Structure formats: C-alpha cells, structure tokens
C-alpha cells in the first residue's frame, strides 16, 4: 500500500478546541488535491484503497469527523451536527493548502459535500457523492441507524468483526480481506482488553427520524458531480438518482449493482469510476 | 542547497467558512515554510497585515514563518455582504482556520488592539493552538474614552481627491501610533489607503466594519473573567500614554491570569507601531525565552 501519514490539527468547536485526525497521501507539492469524508459511524480509514490508488496523481486527505476514529470526542454531545462538521471540513480544506479541492464524500460525508459545495465562494471544484443525495427516506435512515450508539462490547476482535460484517452487510462488494479490514477499522480495544466501536456512542441522538429533504441545496451546486449509487440502497432511491441526474449539477451516475448502502470503494471498477471522473 | 528563508513578503490567501459561506482571507507570508516556529500577526480595527512588515521581516530572519493576516473586510481580504458578520465570532473562527492553513500545531500570536482582543478570546479556551501571546496596547479592560475617540473616525467612508490629502487625513487620526520614522510613516499611510476606479482615494477597509461603534454608545469593556482563564505566556506592549490600555489595567494583567510581562513604549499612545528596534527586540527576546 502506498505510504500515508497520520496527522492532526486544531479546530474550533463552539467555544472550545478539538483535535481532528486526518490521513494524508501523495506528493506535498502536488496542486491536485482531494479530500475524503466518511459516513455517520465510519472513519477516515474507509478510503485507504481509493486514496492509495489516487495518490499516484493526487494529494489525498481523509479526515475523521469529531467523535469518530482518532478525532476528539465532544464533552457536550449536543454540539455534534452539521454546523460543527462544516467548520471542521473548512479547516481541513484550509489545511490542504490548495485554492480548489475535489470532495469525495460517503453518505454523511456526501451531505457535507453538498452543503459546502453550494455555499458562496466554495473552494470545492468537483464533487463525488457515494450513495447519497438530497433526499433520504425515513425508512432508510432508520435502517442505517439501527445499531447506532449501542456501545457494544466484544471479548475478541474476531467476534467484533463478525458483528460488523453482520450489521453492515449492505456495504461492498467486499472480499474476505476487505471485510477484515473494514471490521478492524471499525474497532478500538478498551484498557480491559474488550473490543468496542471506534466512535463516541454519544453521537446517537433521540431525535425522531424523519425524511431528510435537502433539495433546496441541489440547485446551488454548480460543480461537476459524480454519484456512486448502490442499486439496492435504502438511503438513495432510484427516483432521487433520476432527479439528481436531470437537475442542478446533473450528476453523472455510476451504478453498483447488488450493493446497498453503500459502495465500499475497494473494487477496481468503483475506484476507476472516481479516478476517471476527477481526472476530467 | 538553496536557502529557504525568505525575508520578503508573499501575498497569499485562503477561503474561510463564515456567516455568508466562504470568504477570502488574505495574509502576507514571510520566512521559510519549514521554519521551526510560526507567528500569526493580527492588526487593529481599521488596519491590515502590512503594519507588521518590519517585525515580520525581523522575525523571519530569526527563524520564524510569519503570517500577517488581513482580517475580513480589511486590506486584500473580502468584504462581507452584511455588516452583522463583522464580529469577533467570525474573526476568531477565521484565525483558527488560518492556523490550520499554516500547517502549524501552534503559533505565536501577536495582536495589536482588536487583534489582541481576538488573541485573548482565542487563548482563553483549553487546547488553544497558541504558543505565546503578545498583546499590543490592549488588555481585558477597554476604557470607553479610547473607544469614543475611535468611534469619532471609524467607518466614515471618506473620498479624497488626492493621495496627499488622504495621507494627511490618516496622519490626523493615527498620530498616536509610533514611534515611526518618516519612511515608516509613509509606508503606514500607503497601507491605509486604496484607490477607487474613479481615481479618488479612500481607506483600505469596508466602512461596514464599524457598525457596532455606530449602533452603540461607547462603554467600558470588561473581559477580566476571560483574562483569568488564559494560561498562555503573555507579553504586553503598552503605549505609555495610551487611552485604551490604562496603567491600572496593565498592572492587573501583570498580577492575574497569565501574569503578563509588561513593556512600556515611552511617549506613545494607542498603539505602539512595533517598528523600532527596541520594540522588535523586546518581542523577539520574549518569544525566544
């Protein structure tokens, strides 16, 4: 695997500071930069295969949102949310040192991409959305959050990986090796030797789950956009994909058959679709 | 191998997320990108990053990478559409994004007046990316007399027919800045002004930045509870005849919070220009200690 470096910076979270972890690949002098942002319960490591491939021609950053991976957890859980994540992402983009960046976002990371791309003066010049769009049905959100924030404990890493594989089976398609990595990347070991998930269980909120309608964001996006669509996805419906292709930035679509939420970005065809799109 | 240290200014900018989406924040960079230490210099209310040319050049030659920012609405930074965005929340958020931009874990923060208010705010929370703090003629208590004087000139959006006329107007309201020799005074004025497309000359900032002065009567500003949260080593440069930072407040700053070191700049009001060897050497020796 191409070498990467794990780094961090300080971001403002309300009236306090948090440490934000990120992973960096590629030549520091390369002006072509891309940033990858993960889904709700995921972290920066989900992009390792994609970034290693892109790093031949790109400088790639992948960032842990607050409460995930190696970024700080918040004392005040009510501050977890898009306004804070936008600030963190803007600091990440500033950190990258480029004037224009390509945004690659899975699920929640794609929502952040849509929100940031549509803002006045956005430094985002190109957008890749992985199985996410401006409309998410409540049923899909409920499904996606079924085990979110349950703070489980496992006696062994193998048992924990088996749990991940069972509850995240809509990701992929993954080889056994991919599943092992995906599982390991989801976990951390506690001082008592048990295994648990990498993220702050305090991320889960009790807010009622409703349809999420962000169509007001869509026409504000003028950047070239590619959407990877897990054809079996419960979060990104066919009708939404259709409207995304016909309105606003009129996204290109790369459909991944047999996969739900969401494409795992480890297969050659998915990686090639992104590589070809961002090279344009 | 080529020397990497640059003691000339490089104009840079980045996009910062604020109340109206992203806005351009300009900064003047000095020194080597791989320097061991990074300094952030933040100017006063109506000023901009070029005020720090002499200090920045001296620090670059001593091994710092320096970013002298133009706060939003000033110098080469973008103007906001709505005046309400010009507040300390926007300014401090911009600075923390700029520190991320600089690739540094921590910076030495040198703030004149408004830039020192921002520095106190930024330094007060745990985990601040600030190594040391230099406050230039500003503290946690602002006398309303000084604020009333500033209210008298800020944000009037004047139009001058000639550069000489504009220069005279700048000199009239910034007489307390110093000490400066004739050449420094000339550069200070040049940084204060910009030419409009119709050939008239005006000030180098968005007049809307003054909205809080225009909408409120001057009152003493007391930030002493904030001061007592700061643990960052701090040096205070005080204009000995300042109308914004009293000797009582300076004494308070020495006795409380970070227990600041104090350096009085004789015969100067608000604010010391940080252009003399004595001021520059004092700041560098504090930062190097």
Q: Each residue of A205-264: pLDDT tens digit?
A: 888 999 999 999 999 999 999 999 999 999 999 999 999 999 999 999 999 999 999 999
Q: Chain A interface, mutation test: which of B100, B107, B231, most A Cβ atoms within 10 Å?
A: B100
Q: Chain B interface, mutation test: which of A5, A12, A98, most B Cβ atoms within 10 Å?
A: A12
Residue A88's pLDDT is: 98
Residue B135's pLDDT is: 98
- Listed as own residue / partner, the contacts of A178-184 with beta carbons closer than 8 Å and 24 or more positions apart are A178/A264, A178/A266, A181/A45, A181/A48, A182/A46, A182/A264, A183/A157, A184/A157
Report residue B4's pLDDT band, with 50, 70 and 90 as the boundaries.
low
Which one, of A268, A267, A265, lies nearest residue A34 by Cα? A265
Of A133 and A148, the structure prediction assigns the larger pLDDT to A133
Token pair, residue B283, equals 């700041």
Q: How far is A50 from chain B (nearest CA, A)?
A: 24
Are the Cβ atoms of B15 and A19 closer than 8 angstroms?
Answer: no
Report residue A85's pLDDT band, with 50, 70 and 90 as the boundaries.
very high
Delineate the domains of chain B, giving CATH numbers in brackets.
10-288 (3.40.50.1820)
The dihedral through the CA atoms of A89, A92, A97, A98 has a sign that is negative
The answer on pLDDT for B1 being more than 90 is no
The answer on pLDDT for B89 being more than 90 is yes
Which one, of A231, A271, A236, A274, lies nearest residue A255 by Cα? A231
- Region A52-72: what's the mean pLDDT? 97
Residue B124's pLDDT is: 97
Token pair, residue B40, equals 């952030």
Residue B181's pLDDT is: 95
- Region B202-229: what's the mean pLDDT? 96
Report residue A58's pLDDT band, with 50, 70 and 90 as the boundaries.
very high
Mean pLDDT in chain B? Answer: 95
Q: Decide if A91 touches B, using CB distance below 8 A.
A: yes
The ipTM value here is 0.95
Q: Which residues of A touch B24 (CB under 8 A)?
A: 121
Report residue B5's pLDDT band, with 50, 70 and 90 as the boundaries.
low
Residue B178's pLDDT is: 92
User: Residue ranges per domain, chain A?
Assistant: 4-146+209-279
Token pair, residue A230, equals 């897990």
What Å distances lie between residue B119 and A91, B111, B116, B143, B256, CA to CA?
Answer: 18, 6, 5, 18, 17
Q: What residues of B are in the A interface, CB distance below 8 Å?
A: 14-17, 20-24, 78, 92-93, 96-101, 103, 105, 125-129
Report residue A146's pLDDT band, with 50, 70 and 90 as the boundaries.
confident
Distance CA A54, CA A46 (A): 14
Q: Chain B interface, mutation test: which of A29, A90, A117, A125, most B Cβ atoms within 10 Å?
A: A90
Residue for token pair 């010009």 = B86
Task: Specify burial of residue B157 (Cβ count, 10 A radius: 0-12, 13-18, 19+).
Answer: exposed
Mean pLDDT in chain A? Answer: 96
Strands A124-130 and B193-195: unpaired
Are the Cβ atoms of B21 and A12 closer than 8 angstroms?
Answer: no
Distance CA A230, CA A259 (A): 5
What Å distances lie between residue A15 and A79, B2, B77, B151, B158, CA to CA?
Answer: 11, 43, 25, 29, 37
Residue B2's pLDDT is: 43
Q: Which residues of A touch B21 (CB under 8 A)?
A: 119-122
CATH architecture of A4-146+209-279: 3-Layer(aba) Sandwich (3.40)
Q: Which residues of A touch B129 (CB under 8 A)?
A: 9-10, 17
The answer on pLDDT for B3 being more than 50 is no
Q: Which of A231-245, B165-179, B218-232 is predicted with the least confidence, judged by mean pLDDT?
A: B165-179
Q: Decide if A95 touches B, using CB distance below 8 A.
A: yes
- Region B29-54: what's the mean pLDDT? 96
Report residue A150's pLDDT band, with 50, 70 and 90 as the boundaries.
confident
Residue A149's pLDDT is: 85
Q: How far is A266 from chain B (nearest CA, A)?
A: 30
Contact B63, B39 (CB under 8 A): no
Q: Chain A to chain B, count of Cβ pairs less than 8 Å apart? A: 74
Q: Which of A252-261, A268-277, B171-180, B247-256 is predicted with the least confidence, judged by mean pLDDT?
A: B171-180
- For residue B72, cis peptide bond before it (omega within 30 degrees of 0): no
Report residue B60's pLDDT band, with 50, 70 and 90 as the boundaries.
very high
């Amino acid at each position: 695997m191409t070498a990467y470096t794990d780094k961090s910076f300080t971001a403002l979270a309300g009236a306090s500071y948090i440490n934000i972890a990120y992973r960096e690949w590629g030549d520091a002098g390369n002006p072509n930069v891309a940033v990858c942002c993960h889904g709700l319960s995921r972290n920066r490591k989900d992009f390792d295969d994609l970034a290693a491939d892109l790093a031949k021609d790109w400088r790639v950053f992948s960032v842990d949102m607050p409460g995930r991976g190696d970024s700080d957890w918040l004392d005040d859980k009510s501050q977890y949310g898009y306004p804070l994540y936008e600030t963190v992402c803007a600091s990440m983009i500033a950190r990258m040192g480029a004037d224009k960046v390509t945004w690659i976002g899975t699920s929640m990371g794609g929502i952040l991409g849509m929100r940031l791309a549509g803002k006045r003066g956005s430094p985002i010049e190109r957008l890749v959305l992985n199985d996410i769009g401006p409309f998410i049905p409540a049923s899909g959100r409920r499904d996606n959050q079924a085990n979110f924030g349950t703070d489980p404990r496992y006696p062994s890493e193998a048992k924990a990986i088996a749990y991940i594989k069972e509850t995240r089976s809509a990701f992929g398609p993954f080889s056994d090796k991919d599943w092992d990595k995906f599982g390991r990347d989801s976990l951390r070991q506690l001082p008592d030797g048990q295994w648990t998930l990498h993220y702050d269980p305090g991320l889960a909120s009790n807010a009622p789950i409703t349809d999420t309608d962000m169509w007001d964001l869509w026409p504000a996006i003028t950047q070239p956009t590619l959407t990877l669509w897990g054809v079996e996805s419960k979060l990104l419906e066919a009708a939404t994909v259709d409207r995304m292709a016909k309105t606003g930035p009129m996204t290109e679509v790369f459909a991944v058959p047999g996969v739900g939420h969401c494409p795992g970005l480890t297969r050659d065809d998915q990686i090639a679709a992104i590589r070809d799109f961002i090279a344009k | 191998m080529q020397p990497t240290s640059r003691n000339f200014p490089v104009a840079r900018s980045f996009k910062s997320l604020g109340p109206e989406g992203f806005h351009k924040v300009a900064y003047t960079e000095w020194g080597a990108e791989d320097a061991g230490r990074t300094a952030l210099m933040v100017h006063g209310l109506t000023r901009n990053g070029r005020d720090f040319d002499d200090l920045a050049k001296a620090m670059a030659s001593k091994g710092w990478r320096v970013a002298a920012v133009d706060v939003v609405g000033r110098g080469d930074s973008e103007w906001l559409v709505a005046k309400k965005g010009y507040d300390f929340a926007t300014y401090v958020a911009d600075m923390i994004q700029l520190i991320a931009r600089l690739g540094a874990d921590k910076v030495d923060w040198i703030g004149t007046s408004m830039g020192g208010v921002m520095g106190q705010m930024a330094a007060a929370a745990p985990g601040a990316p600030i190594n040391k703090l230099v406050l230039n003629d500003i503290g946690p208590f602002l006398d309303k007399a000084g604020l009333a004087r500033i209210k008298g000139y800020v944000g009037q959006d004047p139009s001058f027919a000639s550069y000489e006329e504009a220069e005279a107007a700048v000199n009239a309201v910034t007489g307390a800045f110093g000490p400066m020799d004739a050449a420094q005074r000339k550069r200070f004025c040049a940084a204060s002004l910009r030419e409009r497309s119709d050939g008239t000359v005006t000030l180098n900032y968005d007049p809307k930045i003054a909205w809080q002065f225009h909408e409120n009567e001057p009152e003493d500003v007391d930030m002493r509870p904030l001061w007592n949260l700061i643990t960052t080593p701090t040096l205070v440069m005080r204009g000995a005849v300042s109308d914004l930072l009293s000797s009582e407040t300076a004494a308070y700053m020495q006795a409380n919070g970070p227990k600041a070191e104090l350096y009085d700049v004789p015969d100067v009001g608000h604010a010391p220009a940080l252009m003399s060897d004595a001021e520059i050497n004092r700041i560098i020796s504090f930062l190097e200690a």
